[in-house]
């Protein structure tokens, strides 16, 4: 699953927690304008329970491990809830991309201009497609994901846009723009086409709920694919649909990079 996380993070959904930056003063550069700081919003367990009813009234609030009662890393319960909210949204986005990616690669759909993909044999199960790409390509994907994670967590970047870290009252799922980069980036990763700017607050709220629900379904669906591929027949509905995979789904590399570093 880690390999799918690395592979698909760059294609994460942009529906959740839409954000439109305040307008810059007349004559000011939009690229360097500093939005007013957003007030911190520390969500509580009561907020989670209310959100759960909006997401699925039939299931409601379900926290079998009581994670929302903990205080991770000596912080607070509210900071922990912020971490859990961010984690769910992020994993849901990854799973949605991974679910689509699994179907794409299982059906041998390739970009004609992608020489790396073109070098991979067809007719392979989706996880085997990852195994077949060169290690240098895998490292590029992992490095890109690391850069995106670092940018998302950067306090300076967040404060430049009037935002806070999700464990300090910031918006879970928010991804900052690339305005602070010295090299211009034409599109932000978060809402690259500015769709949310034209949406009403009601539509944004509905989109945030839809993204969480879709992400949860995608996580279940992706694990269903992986389970049926590694243990044929374990998911009766997918029997004969998902090809069997004999590799290791939890290993990003076919060789152990710690015991065989020269293989890289």
pTM given for the model: 0.79
Better-predicted residue by pLDDT, 148 or 15: 148
Listed in sequence order, the residues at least 6 apart from 105 whose beta carbon sits closer than 8 Å to its beta carbon are 124, 126, 129
Question: pLDDT tens across 152-200, in order?
Answer: 999 999 999 999 999 999 999 999 999 999 888 888 888 888 888 889 9
What sign does the CA torsion over 13, 15, 17, 18 have? positive
pLDDT reading at 28 higher than 90: no
Question: pLDDT tens across 100-113, in order?
Answer: 999 999 999 988 88
Mean pLDDT of the chain: 84
Dist. CA 55–CA 65, nearest whole Å: 19
* pLDDT given at position 38: 57
């Amino acid at each position: 699953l880690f390999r799918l996380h690395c592979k698909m993070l760059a294609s994460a959904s942009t529906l959740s927690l839409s954000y439109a930056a305040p307008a810059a003063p007349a004559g000011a550069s939009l690229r360097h304008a500093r939005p007013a700081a957003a007030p911190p919003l520390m969500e509580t367990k009561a907020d989670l329970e209310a959100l759960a009813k909006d997401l699925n009234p039939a299931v409601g609030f379900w926290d079998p491990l009581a994670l929302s009662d903990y205080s991770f890393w000596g912080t607070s319960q509210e900071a922990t809830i912020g971490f859990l909210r961010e984690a769910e949204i992020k994993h849901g986005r990854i799973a949605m991309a991974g679910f689509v990616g699994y179907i794409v690669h299982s059906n041998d759909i390739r970009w004609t201009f992608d020489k790396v993909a073109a070098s991979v044999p067809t007719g392979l199960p989706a996880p085997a497609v990852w195994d077949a790409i060169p290690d240098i390509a895998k490292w590029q994907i992992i490095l890109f994901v690391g850069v995106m994670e670092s940018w998302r967590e950067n306090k300076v970047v967040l404060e430049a846009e009037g935002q806070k870290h999700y464990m300090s009252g910031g918006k879970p799922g928010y991804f900052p723009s690339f305005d602070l980069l010295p090299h211009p980036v034409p599109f932000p990763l978060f809402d690259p086409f500015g769709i949310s700017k034209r949406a009403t607050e009601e539509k944004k709220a509905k989109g945030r709920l839809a993204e969480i629900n879709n992400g949860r379904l995608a996580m279940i669906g992706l694990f269903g694919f992986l389970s049926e591929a590694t243990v044929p027949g374990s998911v009766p509905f997918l029997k004969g649909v998902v090809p069997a995979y004999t590799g290791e789904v939890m290993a990003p590399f076919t060789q152990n990079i710690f015991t065989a570093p020269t293989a890289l």
